[in-house]
Amino acid sequence: YYTEPTPGNANGSGYAGITAQPRFLTKPGIYEGRIAIELSAGEGETIRYTTDCTTPTTNSPVYSGPIEVSKNTVVRAAAFKDGYLSGFNVTGTFLFKEDGVNHSLPIVTLVTDPDNLWNSKTGIYATGDKFDPDAPTYGDVLTSATYYQPKFLSEEARDAWERAAAFSVFDEAGREVFNQNVDIRIAGSFGRGRAQKGFNITARSEYGSNRMAYKFFDNRDFTEYKSLVLRA
């Protein structure tokens, strides 16, 4: 396996395989009281994980046993093995009634590396260093913000402003009923200036599947979707 294609030229250094995506033995969901989060990986593979929403790397802590938590926690994990490429990471969101999550409605979570949202130059949710809240018009305020820059680009160029994320849905009983790695992009035009912004969510084959196989809407017949909009 190779990280870069080299058509017409010699192959570079290759890898013997790709590690499996780790699995949560403790199901993400809404809990009461302290729990211990357990994960598993393929034979000979080492799990590394984060709890700050960043993507796991070879420098992240090694999973060596259950992770005990009692407040809202996101665990992101990936498997590593010498001579192998690291496969897809997995994200588990664990929510707690004692930490303010006690709703009668379904819950959606989006998890992404914080820089994907807040980096001043490339964060899709960021106001940025050139933001001018005192500009003469609302339109001028928008155009000074980092989050508005993709609106000036072609559709193809806007793809560079998509960011990898984990998208999960929890039902009214607090059970996770859907989880998939996706791309996210800020939705709308003038609505980007609001404090709470919408998101376009798109399934991509580069993360495993180019469809989201779930019946998100009870009043529609569709059982899979290419994209969704989370409205603010």
Segment 44-77, tens digit of pLDDT:
999 999 999 999 999 999 999 999 999 999 999 9
Q: What is the pLDDT of residues 16-39, one digit of tens each?
A: 999 999 999 999 999 999 999 999
Is the full-model pTM beyond 0.75?
yes
As to burial, measured by CB atoms within 10 angstroms (0-12 exposed, 13-18 middle, 19+ buried), residue 7 is exposed
* 113 φψ region: left (φ > 0), alpha (ψ -120 to 50), beta (else): beta
With the C-alpha atoms ordered 94, 96, 100, 101, is the resulting torsion angle positive or negative?
Answer: positive
Q: How far apart are CA 129 and CA 122, in angstroms?
A: 11
pLDDT along the chain (232 residues), means of 10: 91 93 97 97 97 97 97 98 96 97 93 97 96 95 94 85 97 96 95 93 95 96 97 88
